[in-house]
Structure 1
Amino acid sequence: MSTNTETLRRTPWSGHADDAEIAHWSAIAQAVADTLATDALERDRANATPRTEAELLRSSGLLDLLVPAEYGGGGGHFESAFHTVRILATADGSISQLLAYHYFNQAGIGFYADPADQPAWWRRTVQGGWLWGDSVNPVDPTLVLTEDGDGYRLNGLKRFSTGSGVGEVIIVNAIIQGGTEDGKVLAFVLDTAREGLELLGDWDHLGQRLTASGSVKYTDVAVLPGDILGPVTDEPIASLLTPGVQLGFGNFYLGVAQGALAKGRELLLARKNAWFLSNAASYSRDVVFQRAIGELKARTAAVEALAEKLNRRFDAEVARSGTLTAAQRGEYAIAIAELKVVATETGIEVANRIFEVTGASSTANSVGLDLFWRNVRTHTLHDPVDYKKIEVGAHFLHGELQPLSLYT
């Protein structure tokens, strides 16, 4: 790989999304969300590999939103990407997650690859129409790379490999064992048809059923020099990728809450008559139900305000590129942890308590209101939110930052 980092920028993004850009991508995302909403429940129950949904993302242009325009991409900013994730989550949490992970898997080009090598990677992803899956779950047995000529051999197993079952490529993090680079961690990209790469298709969970998040087994998989993005380091700009992923989670949870509220409003307005102890003309005119839905709406609006602020800030932090300091990165990660806490709790609360205003009839399987709760309940277990609370508290009390990891 080239090492001409002195004359080229570390990351290809700069500036902010203007109103026209956000409106453009939001309109596309809404059109996709409207399509997904027509049969979200049926598709969830079928629990099939989301190939049709992946093609919808591809044909809409959303997959290449973050790819610089000079390489054939959409030339968008992260703020637009976060908006897109949120909009899709109002209709289909699974496909929202699939796209959110794709964005940061693909963005690994800008965070890990040498600047001189990035143009070729960007062109490859656009020309190939790649949806990027991942295989980086840090709590699984560690994948191991061993030297093999001028490349490596990869062995091991990774569960929770989101997008792997439907993506053209998978980004992988693995540690080198033995040789002159012993202990070094590399980020690299494998096509899913690579010999020795086995997609186990074992994802069958309560929610987020269409994220193609099954396990991947690697048996003597050849990793060639051209597959390698770069080393995984603690450099502030490179490690900013993880807070970005967490910010994507916050937007996803917010979108689920907004979707549950919209569905709940629809059901509440359709309810006839009123509770027999009420003097109201209808359930939607009953102050008991107005109070409940008003509380949920207000809390969701507060989360949205925080998300909007942090979404825009992400582009500013990324634009610092190689000048981003560890302190700046750490302080921003804490702000994102604050969002993660309130988005998690609000998403779960809204998806749960919306039943209080929609009544017993809304628990019918044909209604599918449970889909919002199942999706947000499943994904909010990705990493314990209590540890995010501890991160926020430790920083507020003592100015402490957590050690770098794939969760912080």
Structure 2
Amino acid sequence: MNLPLDTLLARIKATAVERDARGGHAAEEKALLRDAGLLNLSIPRAYGSDERPWPEIYALVRRIAAVDSSLAHVFAFHHLQVATVLIYGSEEQQERLLRQTIERQLWWGNGMNPLDRRLVARQTASGLLLDGVKSFCSGIVGSQLMTLSAVLDEAAQPLLAVVPVEQPGVRILDDWDPIGQRQTDSNSVSFAQVPLAERDVLRAPEVPPTPFHTLRNCFAQLVLVNLYLGIAEGALAEARDYAHTQARPWLTSQADHATDDLFTQNRFGEMHVQIAAARALADRAAEQVAEAFTRGPALTAGERAEVAVAVAEAKVLSHRAGLFASQELFEVVGARGTKAALGFDRFWRNVRTHTLHDPIDYKLNTLGRWALKGEAPDPLNYS
């Protein structure tokens, strides 16, 4: 089935409010994305896919996020794991894993949370074994493969690997219950003596990360940029539609219709400016990430730093635009717009939940040190 994109988005939007309230796993909607062939977009054409440029993929993430940011999160994180294989994997690993992804139409989940070091890899006589827990494993439910990081012998840098989800010893915990992003399947996963094949290790701890390796962080940050921005665009679209069809001017307003009220127009103007600025920086950052990706192992630390700064700039503005638009939505729809069935609160809850995972103060500090002292962002952290 290859639904036109507008039809696909309309079907997703039709159930978004109900699914947000329910939480859980969006199996039917994930199947729509899979059946539309959207899981292959980041896989190189050499492996038999319909490869699309990364800026186009990020723009699609944004369009999905405007109607359902949880589903956009799962979709984007699938492609982030494909990027992880393309960045860290050997030619054999890429050929084997990505062809398998296309042939079986596999979903990927993420277990790369760098702050959680509870997952340990142990070297035994029979090979590597994984034991422990990994939290915030976005997209893990319904996925067949996952990338993960694990501590090996207390090394400072983690081991990075690919693991099949559906195997003995892997257990998905039912512990994802946030106020927003309720259908991202960001559950914790426990591992009990799970074998890890040497051929599925993407990077050993003793291998120093190169600038190209750490470009993966920029890919991840740009996912968040477009999720926040998509939420802002979705909130603006809902506000515009409601203003035209249902909103009423305040009783002391001189306007006959809400859309003619000067204060309402000003609020829309402010939302428009913030979103337009964030969109411009997001698109610029996507182009820079894509260009850096084509450099491959030849990417220099200086080039990588410029990309990270561009992504951080877009991140700050999209963070602010998402929070602002999701709040201003209520100012323009008025009291009747708080009706629970409308689900307008989901925009604020979703962006607030997600933005807390990467505090804006530290992003601003990164940019401040760059602007003031020319200090490059730390490539081993969230930049």
TM-score between the two structures when normalised by the length of structure 2: 0.95
Identity in percent = 33
| 1:224-235 matches, cutoff 5 A | 224-231=197-204, 233-235=208-210
Give the equivalent residue in structure 2 for 1:220.
193
**Equivalent residues of 2:247, 2:333 under 8 A apart:** no
Q: Do structure 1's residue 286 and structure 2's residue 261 form an aligned pair?
A: yes
Give the equivalent residue in structure 1 for 2:273.
298
C-alpha distance in structure 1 between counterparts of 2:217 and 2:334, whole Å: 40
| Cα distance, 1:75 vs structure 2 | 1.4
**Deviations, residues 170-189 of structure 1 (Å, cap 9, x unaligned):** 111112228xxx66632211
* 2:285 aligned residue (310, 316, 322): 310
**Equivalent residues of 1:165, 1:201 under 8 A apart:** no
Give the equivalent residue in structure 1 for 2:103.
127
Q: Do structure 1's residue 152 and structure 2's residue 124 form an aligned pair?
A: no
- Residue 256 of structure 1 aligns to which amino acid in structure 2? I
Q: What 5-or-longer segments of structure 1 have no aligned partner?
A: 1-24
Give the equivalent residue in structure 2 for 1:187.
160
**Equivalent residues of 2:218, 2:289 under 8 A apart:** no
Secondary structure of the corresponding residue to residue 317 of structure 1: helix
Secondary structure of the corresponding residue to residue 145 of structure 1: strand
Give the equivalent residue in structure 2 for 1:388.
363
C-alpha distance in structure 2 between counterparts of 1:400 and 1:111, whole Å: 25
**Equivalent residues of 2:108, 2:145 under 8 A apart:** yes
**Equivalent residues of 2:93, 2:199 under 8 A apart:** no
| Cα distance, 1:272 vs structure 2 | 5.6
Of stretches 97-106 and 27-36 in structure 1, the one that deviates more from structure 2 is 27-36
| 1:24-43 matches, cutoff 5 A | 29-43=5-19
C-alpha distance in structure 2 between counterparts of 1:385 and 1:319, whole Å: 29
**Deviations, residues 181-219 of structure 1 (Å, cap 9, x unaligned):** x66632211121121111002101100000000111111
| 1:224-373 matches, cutoff 5 A | 224-231=197-204, 233-271=208-246, 273-373=248-348
C-alpha distance in structure 2 between counterparts of 1:279 and 1:308, whole Å: 40
**Equivalent residues of 1:29, 1:87 under 8 A apart:** no
C-alpha distance in structure 2 between counterparts of 1:403 and 1:168, whole Å: 32
**Equivalent residues of 1:105, 1:134 under 8 A apart:** yes
Q: Do structure 1's residue 399 and structure 2's residue 354 form an aligned pair?
A: no
- Residue 306 of structure 1 aligns to which amino acid in structure 2? L
Secondary structure of the corresponding residue to residue 178 of structure 2: coil
Query: How many residues were matched structurally?
Result: 380
- Residue 242 of structure 1 aligns to which amino acid in structure 2? N
| 1:155-174 matches, cutoff 5 A | 155-174=131-150
Of stretches 151-160 and 256-265 in structure 1, the one that deviates more from structure 2 is 151-160
- Residue 191 of structure 1 aligns to which amino acid in structure 2? P
- Residue 178 of structure 2 aligns to which amino acid in structure 1? H
- Residue 352 of structure 1 aligns to which amino acid in structure 2? Q
C-alpha distance in structure 2 between counterparts of 1:185 and 1:29, whole Å: 39
Moved over 6 A (4+): none
Q: What 5-or-longer segments of structure 2 have no aligned partner?
A: none
**Equivalent residues of 1:256, 1:347 under 8 A apart:** yes
